[in-house]
Amino acid sequence: MLEYFDTKYCDVRCLSKLTNLRKLSGRVAPKDMVVMLKSLILNNSNCLLQYSSFWISGDFQMEEEQSLLRQLLGCHHLRQLSLWGYLNLVNKLPDQFPSNLTYLRMGNTELEEDPMPTLEKLPNLRSLILDWKSYIGKEMVCSSAPTTPSSSCRGFPQLKSLMHESIQNLEEWKVEQGAMPCLFRLVIFDCPKLKEIPNRLRFITTLRELQIQRVSEALRDRLRGGEDFCKVHHVPSIVIP
C-alpha cells in the first residue's frame, strides 16, 4: 500500500518497480495518469485500479489534455476518482465514465450542463461529492429509475451518499420517482440559492442522515417545522444549524 503519492514530487515511472503494490492513493497530473495506465504494473494488475483512489488535478483546456482525460475515463477498472479542474468539454461531462466507479468527487469543473443525466447511469456508484463550482447551473434533475430490468440504467441505483457542497448557483433540484432508492446520507452545504429540497425525498425510506448547512434562512425555516418538514420527518438524524 502506498499513500500520498504525488507526481509533482515523484516520478510516476518508479511505480513499475513496485511489483507487489496492491493499493495506491495520491494526486496525479493528467499526463502522468495516462503513463500509469499504460505501465506494465497497472496493465497486469486490475486489483490495483479496483482498490486505489486517484486525485486528478489540472485545467483540461487544451485538446491534448482533453484527449488524456478521455483515455483515463475509458479505463473501466477504475473504482475511485477525484477530478479537480476546468473541464472545458463543451461545458458538460464526457459521455463515457468508468462503469465500475464506486466513488466520484468533482470540484472546480465549472460545468454549465447538469451532470446528473450522465452520472446517474453509473451502475456501481455509491458515493458522489459535487464540490466547489463543480456545477454552475441553476437546475439539477435526478431522473426516475427504470421500471423494468431491461431498461437502461439511470436514477443512481446504488448511490448511498450524496454531497452538494458550494454549488452556489443552484436554485432548483428535482428528484423524480424511484431515483436514488438506496440513498442513506445526504449533505447540502453552502448552497445559498436553493429554494427547497426535493419533494420525492419523503419516499426515500433508506435515508438516515441529513445535514443542511449554510443555506438561506428561508430554507431552514421550511425544514424546521415548515413546508418542507414533511419531506424529511422520517429521517432519524437531521442536522440543520
> What is residue 64's predicted lDDT score, i.e. its pLDDT?
67
> What is residue 60's predicted lDDT score, i.e. its pLDDT?
66
> What is residue 18's predicted lDDT score, i.e. its pLDDT?
74
> What is residue 205's predicted lDDT score, i.e. its pLDDT?
94
> What is residue 99's predicted lDDT score, i.e. its pLDDT?
84
pLDDT in tens, 162-172: 999 999 999 99
> What is residue 61's predicted lDDT score, i.e. its pLDDT?
66
> What is residue 3's predicted lDDT score, i.e. its pLDDT?
80
For the chain, which residues make up each domain, given as ranges? 1-101, 113-241
Residue 203 sits at φ, ψ, to 5 deg, of -100, 0
Instruction: Write b or e for each residue in 54-88: b if 16 or more Cβ atoms lie within 10 A of its Cβ, otherwise e.
Output: bbbbbebeeeebbebbeebbebebbbbbbbbbebb
Low-confidence ranges of the chain (pLDDT < 50): 40-41, 150-151
> What is residue 40's predicted lDDT score, i.e. its pLDDT?
47
Q: Report the DSSP pairing between strands 139-142 and 172-175.
A: parallel
Three-state SS string over the chain comes to CEEEEECCCCCHHHHHHCCCCCCEEEEECHHHHHHHHHCHHHHCCHHHHHHCEEEEECCCCCHHHHHHHHHHHCCCCCCEEEEECCCCCCCCCCCCCCCCCCEEEEECCCECCCCHHHHCCCCCCCEEEECCCCECCCEEEECCCCCCCCCCCCCCCCCCEEEEECCCCCCEEEECCCCCCCCCEEEEECCCCCCCCCHHHHHCCCCCEEEEECCCHHHHHHHCCCCCHHHHCCCCEEECC
